[in-house]
């Protein structure tokens, strides 16, 4: 009995020693946090310089997170998203594919009526049924992005003046949604409506970036997200953003003016072979029809198309500049 009591006493002493000597790290951290003065937990003891440095670190971390999210989500948009970007949010992908099928059937029917070769029929069906609608969709999307970019800086100026006059941010966004022309007004209208139904501002801005994937919208989303998380002068940040957007537009115009001569030369060089072929067909059709009737002519025509495509692609890469 005495031995058993001694063993239990020794185990008790060991447990007490372990609790107070080795200690639980979480408990020690908790005790250290409680032992700190209340001002240091809230960061009120930091000097203004340290506070600014901490804000810069927070902003840099947020920018890295945003860039990581954007890089991770770089994937091809769905057909529904492409229709929304082109300005057709109510058009379903099913309707678009039905339209493509109708165009393909019409092109194939015309090729069959005119008694074309099977290869020509297949090319007509592919180009008119699939290539042409997607090209038109991309053209409308780029035109809508360009129009949005032109009217985006004045919209940010409206937000800046509204915030400086004392209006809340949501009311400033509503003013832009009401008074700005489309597509700026439509995008801000969707942003405001999303926040009304309980969506956070960060999520609404992500949806806006998906609907209008331009660098300008990305800058605006970053500024609004940082302001919402770390605070700061929103009017000053948006004013700087508006100045940056105007500088980008000015740089774009300068690049366009400097590269106009090269673009004109590329257009003339690229249009010469089709123009010469058309003139020869008008003047002496029998001379050029051998390209379409003979196998050697078909091979030569295919090689010419391939080399022309390569040349046009190279010239396009040479005259397009990223800014």
| Residue range 143-199, pLDDT digits in tens | 999 899 888 888 898 888 888 888 888 888 899 888 888 888 888 998 888 888 888
| Residue at 105 is within a domain | yes
What angle do the packed helices 132-164 and 169-179 form, to 10 degrees?
A: 130
| Residue at 49 is within a domain | no
DSSP string, 163-197: HHTT--HHHHHHHHHHHSPTTHHHHHHHHHHHHHT
Of 117, 143, 169, the one marking the end of a domain is 143
Q: Region 19-24: what's the mean pLDDT?
A: 47
| Residue at 100 is within a domain | yes
C-alpha 150/C-alpha 146 separation (Å) is 6
Tell me: do 213 and 157 sit in the same domain.
yes
**Maximum Cα interatomic distance, the chain, rounded to a whole number of Å:** 125
* Number of other CB atoms surrounding residue 216 within 10 Å: 19
Asked whether residue 43 carries a pLDDT value surpassing 60, the answer given is: no
Q: How confident is the model at residue 139 (pLDDT cuts 50, 70, 90)?
A: very high
Q: How confident is the model at residue 102 (pLDDT cuts 50, 70, 90)?
A: very high
Low-confidence winner among 39-48, 68-77, 277-286, 300-309 (lowest mean pLDDT): 39-48
Give the predicted TM-score (pTM) of the model.
Answer: 0.64
Asked whether residue 25 carries a pLDDT value surpassing 80, the answer given is: no
Q: Region 60-86: what's the mean pLDDT?
A: 69
| Residue at 168 is within a domain | yes
Tell me: do 128 and 198 sit in the same domain.
no
What's the total number of domains in the chain? Answer: 3
C-alpha 202/C-alpha 133 separation (Å) is 34
| Residue at 72 is within a domain | no
Q: Region 53-76: what's the mean pLDDT?
A: 60
Tell me: do 125 and 165 sit in the same domain.
no
Tell me: do 204 and 155 sit in the same domain.
yes
Asked whether residue 44 carries a pLDDT value surpassing 50, the answer given is: no
Sign of torsion over alpha carbons 230, 235, 241, 244: negative
CATH label of the domain that carries residue 192:
1.20.81
Tell me: do 161 and 253 sit in the same domain.
yes
Sign of torsion over alpha carbons 118, 123, 124, 130: positive
Tell me: do 160 and 229 sit in the same domain.
yes
Tell me: do 185 and 138 sit in the same domain.
no
Asked whether residue 4 carries a pLDDT value surpassing 80, the answer given is: no
Half-sphere exposure of residue 321: CA atoms within 13 angstroms, side-chain side: 15
C-alpha 239/C-alpha 245 separation (Å) is 10
pLDDT at 221: 87
> Domain range holding 98?
85-143
Q: Counting beta carbons within 10 angstroms of the beta carbon of residue 113, is it exposed (0 to 12), middle (13 to 18) or buried (19 or more)?
A: exposed
| Residue at 287 is within a domain | yes
pLDDT at 47: 67
Tell me: do 222 and 315 sit in the same domain.
no
Tell me: do 247 and 155 sit in the same domain.
yes
Tell me: do 246 and 295 sit in the same domain.
no
Tell me: do 246 and 266 sit in the same domain.
no
Angle at 128 between CA 127 and CA 129, to 5 degrees: 95
Higher pLDDT, 209 or 18: 209
């Amino acid at each position: 009995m005495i031995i058993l009591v001694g063993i239990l006493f020794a185990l008790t002493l060991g447990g007490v020693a372990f609790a107070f000597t080795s200690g639980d790290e979480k408990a020690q951290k908790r005790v250290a946090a409680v032992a700190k003065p209340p001002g240091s937990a809230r960061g009120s003891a930091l000097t203004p310089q340290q506070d600014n440095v901490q804000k810069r670190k927070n902003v840099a971390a947020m920018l890295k997170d945003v860039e990581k999210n954007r890089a991770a989500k770089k994937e091809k948009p769905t057909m529904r998203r492409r229709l929304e970007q082109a300005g057709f949010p109510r058009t379903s992908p099913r309707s678009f594919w039905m339209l493509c099928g109708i165009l393909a059937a019409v092109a194939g029917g015309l090729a069959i009526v005119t008694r074309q070769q099977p290869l020509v029929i297949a090319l007509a069906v592919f180009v008119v049924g699939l290539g042409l609608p997607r090209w038109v969709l991309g053209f409308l999307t780029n035109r809508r992005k360009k129009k949005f970019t032109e009217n985006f800086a004045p919209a940010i100026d409206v937000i800046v003046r509204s915030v400086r006059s004392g209006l809340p941010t949501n009311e400033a966004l509503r003013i832009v949604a009401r008074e700005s022309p489309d597509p700026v007004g439509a995008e801000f209208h969707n942003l405001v409506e999303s926040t009304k139904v309980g969506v956070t501002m960060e999520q609404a801005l992500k949806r806006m970036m998906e609907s209008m994937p331009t660098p300008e919208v990305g800058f605006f989303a970053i500024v609004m997200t940082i302001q919402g998380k770390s605070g700061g002068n929103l009017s000053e940040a948006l004013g700087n953003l508006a100045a940056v957007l105007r500088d980008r537009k000015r740089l774009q115009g300068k690049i366009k003016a400097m590269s106009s001569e090269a673009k004109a030369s590329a257009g003339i060089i690229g249009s010469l072979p089709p123009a010469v072929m058309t003139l020869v067909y008008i003047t002496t059709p029998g001379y050029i029809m051998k390209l379409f009737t003979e196998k050697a002519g078909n091979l030569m025509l295919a090689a010419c198309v391939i080399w022309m495509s390569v040349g046009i692609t190279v010239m396009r890469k040479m005259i397009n500049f990223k800014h």
